[in-house]
Amino acid sequence: MNDLKFAFRQLLKNPGFTAVAVLTLALGIGANTAIFSLVNGLLFRSLPVAEPERLIRLGATADGEGFRNFSFQEYVHYRDHGDVFDALAAHQMMEWSFRAGEQAERIFGELVSANYFSTFRLTPKVGRFFGSAEDERGAAQPVLVLSHDLWRSRFNGDPAAVGSTVRLNGQAFTVVGVAPAGFQGAFGGTKMNLWVPLNAWDLVRHGPGPISDANERSLMLCGRLKPGVSGIVALALAAVGIYGVMFFIVSQRVPEIGLRMALGAQKAQVLRLVVVHGMRLATLGIVIGLAGAFALTRLLRGLLYGVNSTDPLTFTAIPLLLGGVALLACWLPASRAARIDPMEALRHE
């Protein structure tokens, strides 16, 4: 109890430093918890595909002012030269007028690269997916793939739907396949009803698309990482950052440790005091970070259809992991300082 009281007094002695340290820890813990919870709910767990943990989204910085999408040429470059990817697909969501027979409706779908479905390692329920030729301009016949739900609702699940003609924005398309049950596209918050190759962009948008126009940057990219390359890299970087903050905080107390040892304090007492002080900061950072992460994910959950953004496992595992990193960063420098000669430690002052 005395150690806890002393730790509180130490925090209050330098409120500015304490505030900066706590906010740094809160941002590292809170941001990573929120991001991993949202990504886990939005992309990883919501897709009924093989090894969803290896799927990531890509974004490009726009001159330091947020993120932008990609041109088709950029996509081809990253697809062909990205050493960390098993596959990289391009896609963009659209809303169209869909007509099958006499009934028309507005639906969401995606314009996608030919390797879109293979990136997700999907097998068609009926028919086929797109071939490499359908990434090129001027295909002879526009084609599309139906979602399983649209196939069931508009064609009664009839395999003969493959080969039939439907219309998107008045343009005739041939149905070549049906996606497997449960797959609703790469936008976890919005249900996709069909997929069209990128080479049909000019037809359904009535204007030059990214294949035709090199300056058109409207494509989103989704990749499958190679085995051994993990999306946990961002978490590792956060752990390194938190370790650095805590290591610096404890290292500043080396002279105090020397003084206490010179006055007869036992190593265990000094270690306990320093670790309690450091973990008090870390705990404050964790609490504030979790509160911020919870508020952020609750706010964004209203914008995401069918996604549980406050993933309990993530909200438990990430703080525990980063809290463990903070504990290690407190203990290591304190333990090392407690082993050196008190007079040498005092010379750090």
Q: What is the pLDDT at residue 29? A: 58
> Does one domain contain both 177 and 302?
no
Q: Is the pLDDT of residue 73 over 80?
A: yes
> Bigger pLDDT: 72 or 346?
72
> Does one domain contain both 254 and 209?
no
Q: What is the pLDDT at residue 32? A: 54
Q: What is the pLDDT at residue 343? A: 66
Q: Is the pLDDT of residue 232 over 50?
A: yes
Q: What is the pLDDT at residue 260? A: 74
Mean pLDDT of 33-48: 51
Q: Is the pLDDT of residue 36 over 70?
A: no
> Does one domain contain both 29 and 112?
no
Q: What would the pLDDT profile of 180-216 be if each residue is shown by its tens digit?
A: 999 988 876 688 999 999 888 878 776 677 777 777 8
Could you tell me if residue 8 is inside a domain? yes
- H, E, C per residue of 318-347: HHHHHHHHHHHHHHHHHHHHHHCCHHHHHC
Q: What is the pLDDT at residue 160? A: 96
Could you tell me if residue 61 is inside a domain? no
Could you tell me if residue 65 is inside a domain? no
> Does one domain contain both 234 and 198?
no
Could you tell me if residue 340 is inside a domain? yes
What percentage of the chain exceeds 70 in pLDDT?
62
In single-letter form, the type of residue at position 12 comes to: L
Of the candidates 218, 247, 264, which is a domain's last residue? 218
First-to-last alpha carbon distance for the chain, in angstroms, is: 28
Q: How confident is the model at residue 122 (pLDDT cuts 50, 70, 90)?
A: very high
> Does one domain contain both 272 and 332?
yes
Q: Is the pLDDT of residue 34 over 70?
A: no
Could you tell me if residue 60 is inside a domain? no
Q: Is the pLDDT of residue 101 over 60?
A: yes
> Does one domain contain both 209 and 239?
no
**What's the whole-number average pLDDT of the chain?**
75
> Does one domain contain both 158 and 290?
no
DSSP 2-15: HHHHHHHHHHHHSH
> Does one domain contain both 205 and 253?
no
Of the candidates 163, 188, 218, which is a domain's last residue? 218
Range of the domain at 29: 2-45+230-346
| Cβ-based burial of 97 (10 A; exposed 0-12, middle 13-18, buried ≥19) | middle
Q: Which of 56-65, 94-103, 172-181, 216-225 is most confident?
A: 172-181
CB 179 within 8 A of CB 210: no
Could you tell me if residue 34 is inside a domain? yes
Q: Which of 43-57, 150-164, 187-201, 234-248 is most confident?
A: 150-164
Q: What is the pLDDT at residue 49? A: 80
Q: What is the pLDDT at residue 268? A: 80
Number of domains within the chain: 2
> Does one domain contain both 131 and 257?
no
Could you tell me if residue 327 is inside a domain? yes
Q: Which of 17-21, 292-296, 345-349 is most confident?
A: 292-296
CA pair distance 236, 213, nearest whole angstrom: 39
Q: What is the pLDDT at residue 128? A: 96
Could you tell me if residue 295 is inside a domain? yes
Nearest of 127, 132, 130, 138 to residue 160 by alpha carbon: 127
Q: What would the pLDDT profile of 278-327 be if each residue is shown by its tens digit?
A: 777 777 777 777 776 667 656 545 444 344 455 566 667 767 777 787 78
> Does one domain contain both 100 and 234?
no
Of the candidates 156, 190, 218, which is a domain's last residue? 218
**Residues 208, 106, 132, 159, Cα dihedral to 10°:** -150
> Does one domain contain both 86 and 151?
yes
> Does one domain contain both 95 and 188?
yes
Q: Which of 111-115, 186-190, 270-274 is most confident?
A: 111-115
Q: What would the pLDDT profile of 4-14 be if each residue is shown by its tens digit?
A: 444 445 545 55
